[in-house]
Structure 1
Amino acid sequence: MDRKKVLWADDEIELLRPHILFLQDKGYEITAVTSGEDAIAQVRRGTFDVVLLDEHMSGKDGIETFAEIKTLHPGVATAMITKSDEEGLMEEAIGSQIDDFLIKPVNPSQVLLVLKKLTESTQINRNRISKEYLSQFNQISTQIAMGAHWEDWIDIHVKLSGWDLEMERYPDLGLADVLQDQKSQLNLEFGRFIEENYRDWLSGNDRPPLSVDIASKYLATPLKQGKQVLFLVLDCLRLDQYLAIEPLLYEHFEITRDYHYSILPTSTPYSRNAIFSGLFPSDLERQYPELWKRGEDDESSSNRFEHQFLDQQLTKLGVNLKSGSKYVKVLDPEEAERVEKKVSSYLNQPLVSMVFNFVDILAHSGSDSDVIKEMVRSDAGYRSVTRSWFEHSTLFNIMRTFAKQDVIIVLTTDHGSIRVNKNTKVISDKEASTNLRYKYGRNLKCDSKHAMVMQNPENYKLPRRGINIDYIVAKEDYYFVYPTNYNKYVNLYKNSFQHGGISMDEMILPVVTLLPK
């Protein structure tokens, strides 16, 4: 291993000779100087891995020396050594972005620990992550072998999503491909699990929280208690994307994270209508037969009653909102800015519901725009773009405004998405739907290994849509392609993000309660 170079500046450096000898024995190359000016001169002549600075030196003090060194070499790690533990000094050091500090008198082992932290933490974390991941890999395999319950699948998906973020921080570990292979195999098992259990869930037998349960489980109680609630639905937000933005919320909120399963198909007309109405699609068809008669691609048509649905559901749940509720759907940046400007007028409402479509638009644009396709060509890229959007978004501004008014925020999503890589042929009548991850129509034919076939839609609480209509829902990372112009559409949609099917990323979703700090 290369010897790490350490510059140590202290006007009593001779008293620290035993420390220097100890560190040299541990493999560090120490350059010792007695003043800030000498330290700056050394940095001008060469590079160092760590700079140790005494706070009180004649001439330039530690803070002044640090500022000049950071100008010369912004990336060098720095630790301050001081006789004082005064709060003001600590705040000044933190504000100056000093990496660590020690209080005199220091012993050699303390200095060694700081040097290890500043020079070896990345490698230590790599070793830890490799060990922990391989251990959890085996634990998950055991869970599956013993017969995973729906709660186990949530646990598995949370772990895998967490590992996605860890592997992103350390791409040179070489474990990303192992993780992706594991996820692919687990999605195969998850598809079998859903096929075996989904119909029973619809009958209410030992089922997880589903889309239809969100309002009763997370909105009704605080509203009955007279608390104000901001209900946010971020269309198409995956769990790993939420985990990427969650650290931005720590400063402002106490966070309780729960999970629910999207109903099938994992598509807005089904899952989001289920969230707002508390009803399965077949029940909605009986009450609102016109809802399913227009094309699903027109969201203003298929999801145009969300406000009314939620008000009616809350009334059934015994929630009496004397001043009514507010509902806003944000489909573009211009609308987001208009909402932000008017947000103060919403603060007295007992319930404000907002739907944001940015993540869904991003997912669908990947197949149409080369620029966006390049930005989100991987799951890591998709997470990064989502986090960057959220950090600078009007949504985040709105959330912080509501937090100042002590409003409870419930944040969730209607479905996730998956990057599709495997195509499978489908044959149908001309009237069949155009979605890539699910289809409904007459005479649908596909490979049953690649899709869940739903004959008699009412058994799956889906709208009938006419006589002899069936549904098929893709599993794993398959997408449906018609034989006509087959190769063209295979190439067009390969490696794009889609939703509507059966996968952990599409079905297992966060429901987050945020209490203002």
Structure 2
Amino acid sequence: MTRTPHILWADDEIDLLKPHILFLQGKGYDVSGFTDGASLLEALEEDRLVDVVFLDENMPGLTGLETLQRIKARRPHLPCVMITKSEEEHIMEEAIGSKMADYLIKPLNPNQILLSLKKILDEKRLVGEKAMSDYQREFRELGMRLMDRLDREDWEDIHRRLVHWDLELTASGDTGMSEVLRMQKQDAGRQFARFVTDNYGNWLSDLDRCDGREDPLLAPKVMAESVRPLLDAGRKTLLVVIDNFRYDQWRALGPMLTEDWQVQSERMHWSFLPTATQYARNAMFAGMTPANIAKVQPQWWKEEQAKGSKNAHESDLLGAQLDRWGFSGQWGYHKITDVVSGRKLVEDFHQIRDRDFTAVVFNFVDMLSHARTESEIIKELAEDEAAYRSLTVSWFEHSPLRELLRLAAEAGFELVLTTDHGTVQVADPVKVQAERDVTDNPRYKTGRNLRHDDGVFSVDDPEAFGLPKPHLSSRYIFATERDFMVYPNNLNRFIRYLDGTFQHGGISMEEMLVPLVHLIPR
């Protein structure tokens, strides 16, 4: 704040507070004193440049609370501080319920008043400066770590730290340090892609090791590692899969669950390649790789070019996995694709209440990601990652999912919250050439005779990577980092169409390192 902050202070003993007023003036604040609430309200009508109001609760005429109510009716966002001799709980509750910025109890200490003002007027600046200072220190530490030989645990921790600083710097509004963070994320993303391409085939060669202890926890092992132990222990369990749900979205949304839930454990699982629903979520519900689904349960697998939904048999795949575990309890599966079906599930919660296990898939975030590509309005609303997070939080706040989770907590369920894959905001085009029957996803392609620029990860032996091979010459190629694949024909049109959109299917921390959270009711 460049101008002198202006404070209005009403107290019937304002003359006795002169030392405090002089102290604040010496600290650079302009303070106007009044002996009653009515006089303060008159001054407030004439002066629009008021930053904070101090109110004594016990004044003759209008009390502090009555004055507060009139201030909030006229200027609802003006910060007000209640000052009182009373520590009675009902007065505190009424003041807090009236959205007081702070609550001070007499006798007052000058530094106590100063701290309250700094918290109200300078909190964002001070928090931003602290965040900038802390990130500058950690920037060097992260930079040194990225030069080391990193393992699965290192990469999960690095992603966790980068997301933390993304949230902190976004909240602080420091665009300069946010740009430094963007460059560090770009460097980390490049090295992460190299780590995955160097090791992914080895992980798939021994899937039993992919349980999150040494090797990454991959999609086919997620249910066995997160849900099965709860069912074996006889605990009622709700599995919620939010399609296309990034780790940063979980970190932004998670605090909204704390009223009803307590986090028991938070970890990451690594989405299956391609990081797309057909592969990653089917692998999770089946408990096996897509290649094995196509071989063992071909009636429940559809190839890329087949018509119809590629995820129409999730309930069948889940049921088969539960049977292999020997699970004999009552269970159900629901896929929520719109608000109407979500509300219907909440209305019918009595049917879920007595089940041992329920799995629910919510598709909104995935639909938001695809709408971001198609709709100019959504492009403006979700211009960058921070706005994309904000839209997700806004959706959850008003969604049937929030009510479902509240009911589940009341019913004593334990909750496993996860996703099939994340998404990345793409920025860099790479050219590919292919026949007509290849997939149209800009983050991965599968088909024959694929030709591409450098930087694309090519899988020439799909079965070694747990992927179906519909033709003898079928290959898969994956975009890494923030790349997206375009064809030479109409090149500029496709670049304009896809640049800056949120896509999934390829190799990036945002797509692959996704939340797996176990929560218990409070």
Measure how far apart 1:75 and its partner are: 2.2
Mapped pair 1:511 → 2:516: yes
Measure how far apart 1:136 and its partner are: 1.8
Measure how far apart 1:74 and its partner are: 2.2
Deviates more, 1:11-20 or 1:159-168: 159-168
Residues 23/340 of structure 1: CA separation in 2 closer, same or farther (3 Å cut): same
| Selected match of 1:253 from 261, 279, 296 | 261
Deviates more, 1:471-480 or 1:144-153: 144-153
SS, match of residue 122 in structure 2: helix
The separation in 1 between residues aligned to 2:223 and 2:468, in whole angstroms, is 22
The separation in 1 between residues aligned to 2:32 and 2:200, in whole angstroms, is 67
Mapped pair 1:342 → 2:352: no
Contact (CA 8 Å) 1:235, 1:358: kept in 2 or not? yes
Mapped pair 1:428 → 2:458: no
| Selected match of 2:290 from 259, 266, 281 | 281
Residues 168/91 of structure 1: CA separation in 2 closer, same or farther (3 Å cut): same
Residues 298/3 of structure 1: CA separation in 2 closer, same or farther (3 Å cut): farther
The TM-score, its normalising length taken from structure 2, stands at 0.94
Q: Which residue of 1 aligns with 2:157?
A: 155
The separation in 1 between residues aligned to 2:238 and 2:383, in whole angstroms, is 33
Unaligned runs of 5+ in 1: none
The separation in 1 between residues aligned to 2:408 and 2:295, in whole angstroms, is 37
The separation in 2 between residues aligned to 1:114 and 1:58, in whole angstroms, is 25
The 5 Å alignment of 1:158-177 reads 158-177=160-179
Mapped pair 1:272 → 2:273: no
Unaligned runs of 5+ in 2: none
Deviations 1:429-456 (A, max 9, x none): 332222211111112111232x211111
Q: Which residue of 2 aligns with 1:227?
A: 235
Q: Which residue of 2 aligns with 1:469?
A: 474
The separation in 2 between residues aligned to 1:448 and 1:146, in whole angstroms, is 25
SS, match of residue 411 in structure 1: strand
User: How many correspondences in the alignment?
Assistant: 513
The separation in 2 between residues aligned to 1:294 and 1:332, in whole angstroms, is 26
Measure how far apart 1:410 and its partner are: 0.9
Letter of the 2:243 partner, please give it.
D
The separation in 1 between residues aligned to 2:31 and 2:327, in whole angstroms, is 69
| Selected match of 1:87 from 78, 84, 89 | 89
Measure how far apart 1:506 and its partner are: 0.2
The separation in 1 between residues aligned to 2:223 and 2:407, in whole angstroms, is 23
Letter of the 1:317 partner, please give it.
W
Contact (CA 8 Å) 2:339, 2:399: kept in 1 or not? no
Deviations 1:261-307 (A, max 9, x none): 1111101111101111110112112202354444368663x222222
Measure how far apart 1:145 and its partner are: 0.9
Mapped pair 1:144 → 2:151: no
Measure how far apart 1:179 and its partner are: 2.0
The separation in 2 between residues aligned to 1:196 and 1:148, in whole angstroms, is 12
SS, match of residue 175 in structure 1: helix
Deviates more, 1:40-49 or 1:233-242: 40-49
The 5 Å alignment of 1:76-475 reads 76-204=78-206, 206-255=214-263, 256-295=265-304, 300=309, 302-321=310-329, 323=330, 325-449=331-455, 451-475=456-480
Letter of the 2:108 partner, please give it.
V
The separation in 2 between residues aligned to 1:335 and 1:296, in whole angstroms, is 29
Letter of the 1:165 partner, please give it.
L
Residues 160/298 of structure 1: CA separation in 2 closer, same or farther (3 Å cut): farther
Deviations 1:382-418 (A, max 9, x none): 1121111111111111111111111111110000011
Measure how far apart 1:70 and its partner are: 2.2
The separation in 2 between residues aligned to 1:381 and 1:17, in whole angstroms, is 47
SS, match of residue 426 in structure 1: strand
The TM-score, its normalising length taken from structure 1, stands at 0.95
Q: Name the % identity.
A: 39
Contact (CA 8 Å) 1:292, 1:463: kept in 2 or not? no
The separation in 2 between residues aligned to 1:503 and 1:479, in whole angstroms, is 12
SS, match of residue 485 in structure 2: strand
The separation in 2 between residues aligned to 1:130 and 1:172, in whole angstroms, is 8
Mapped pair 1:479 → 2:481: no
Measure how far apart 1:318 and its partner are: 4.1
The separation in 1 between residues aligned to 2:306 and 2:219, in whole angstroms, is 20
The 5 Å alignment of 1:45-60 reads 45-46=46-47, 47-60=49-62
Measure how far apart 1:191 and its partner are: 0.6
Measure how far apart 1:131 and its partner are: 0.7
Mapped pair 1:2 → 2:11: no
Q: Which residue of 2 aligns with 1:488?
A: 493
Q: Which residue of 2 aligns with 1:39?
A: 40
Q: Which residue of 2 aligns with 1:74?
A: 76
Contact (CA 8 Å) 1:276, 1:306: kept in 2 or not? yes
Letter of the 1:432 partner, please give it.
V
The separation in 1 between residues aligned to 2:325 and 2:454, in whole angstroms, is 40
SS, match of residue 312 in structure 1: helix
Measure how far apart 1:95 and its partner are: 0.4
The separation in 2 between residues aligned to 1:389 and 1:118, in whole angstroms, is 29
Deviations 1:108-148 (A, max 9, x none): 11111111111111111111111112122112111111222
Measure how far apart 1:71 and its partner are: 2.4
Q: Which residue of 2 aligns with 1:20?
A: 21
Measure how far apart 1:374 and its partner are: 2.0
Contact (CA 8 Å) 2:125, 2:172: kept in 1 or not? no
Measure how far apart 1:172 and its partner are: 4.7
The separation in 1 between residues aligned to 2:358 and 2:422, in whole angstroms, is 23
The separation in 2 between residues aligned to 1:422 and 1:285, in whole angstroms, is 33
The separation in 1 between residues aligned to 2:351 and 2:66, in whole angstroms, is 49
